[in-house]
Amino acid sequence: MFRNLLLTLLTFCIAIGGGAASVWYALDADDGFDALHVGAWTAFPDLGTTKASPYAKAAAARDGVLALGHAEGIRFIASRDSAGRPLSVACTYRVAGNTPPARFWTLFPADPHSLMPLKAKPGLPGKLQSWAVLRQPDGSFAVTVGPHPAPGNWLAINGGGGMTLALTLYDTPAATSSEVGSLELPRIKRVGCDG
Amino acid sequence: MGKLLSALAIGIIGAGIVHIVILFLLPSVAENGPWQRLDAAAGHYTFVSVNRADGAASPTIRPIHPFFYEAACRFDLRDGVVHIHAPGRVPFWSMSVYDKSGENIYSLTDRTATDGDLDLVIATPAQLIEVKKDIPTDFEKSIFVETDTGKGIALVRSFVPDDSWAPGMDRYMKSLVCQSG
């Protein structure tokens, strides 16, 4: 009798605990089913739409996110450099290349978990938008992301730990194009690290 | 031993069922969704600032768009059609309509709008037929958005290229109107 009760209890514990924990884990996993990879960058074109997977929908509901609509734009996130090493705020990176056509884009370093923009020290540039970016004669651009001031386009980071880079294209055909996988996005090259 | 194994097996099958149930129930029971957060901030038909580029306002929705001012207004189509408009021009605005669970059902940018002005009417298919029979002068330049979502959220995003734009964009966001009927 007592043994049966114990076994029933065990069954319920596994069912409820395991079920809840596995949902939580799946929602926190970076790589959703809807992920789209372009070089080091990842986007979720179906995020927040009716086409999103149940996992993406549940994650959006839990986190209170109102995602960009297809007409508004698309966001690409990079948490690793082009060589596959995780991004760190103690390192200096060179983000160089071109973006797909868009009205404008923004680039900023963000917290890897909340995706909230990292705060730069007062007076230092913590975010960049394409109308203010310095370009090469061929239209391409290069941005230095690092703790030390750099000539040209510079994004200041400080502190320790990991980071992600968020590149958001606004009003772009890339968000709705079926050939979104063949897009050209800037490469992220690690220049060096402190310490 | 056999009983223990069967208990484990039933537990794992149960975990699978619980996993699926939680997954599909979460969007409808989440207490931290955009709708609930806006509910705590203001009533229907009021634009609430959810993101200021300088991060000054306390965020109700995660402000993940630096360079942007964002404001959201909740509506209920059972009260009648919703008219959203703002005077003036800005470098870029975009707007999304979300249903109550935060799913994007319609989005547009200033390129789509007449003369680039923000002027939009959200209505159910039935309401739209009524409105189009005799279009009020207020709606002459409006874009009509057809949805049968009932309750929803309209979110306006406006680009602030640099800090010198901030005061003007602040005025623009304050001039946003969200009205029923």
Residues A32-68: tens digit of each pLDDT: 667 788 889 988 877 777 777 788 777 777 777 788 8
pTM for this prediction: 0.84
At what angle are helices B2-29 and A2-28 packed, to 10 degrees? Answer: 40
User: Which residues in chain A (134-173) have CB-CB distances under 8 A to chain B?
Assistant: 166, 168, 170-171
For residue A14, the chain B residues in CB contact (below 8 A) are: 8, 11-12, 14-15
The domain ranges of chain A are: 1-30, 32-193
Low-confidence stretches of chain B (pLDDT beneath 70): 52-63
The domain ranges of chain B are: 34-180
Inter-CA distances, A43 with A27, A37, A167, B98, Å: 16, 7, 10, 20
Put simply, the answer to whether B14 touches A11 (Cβ < 8 Å) is: yes
Q: How far away is chain B from the Cα of A191, in angstroms, using its nearest Cα? A: 26
Residues A121-169: tens digit of each pLDDT: 888 999 999 999 999 999 999 999 999 999 999 999 988 889 999 999 9
Q: How far is the C-alpha of B24 from the C-alpha of A52, rounded, in Å?
A: 13
CATH number of this structure's domain A32-193 = 2.60.120.600
Q: What is the mean pLDDT of chain A?
A: 86
Amino acid at B110: D
The pLDDT value recorded for residue A127 is 92
Q: How far is the C-alpha of B43 from the C-alpha of B41, rounded, in Å?
A: 7
The pLDDT value recorded for residue B56 is 45
Cα end-to-end span (Å), chain B = 69
The pLDDT value recorded for residue A33 is 64
Domain B34-180 has CATH 2.60.120.10: no
Report the residue from B7, B66, B112 with minimal CB separation from A10: B7
Beta bridge pairs of residue A25: none
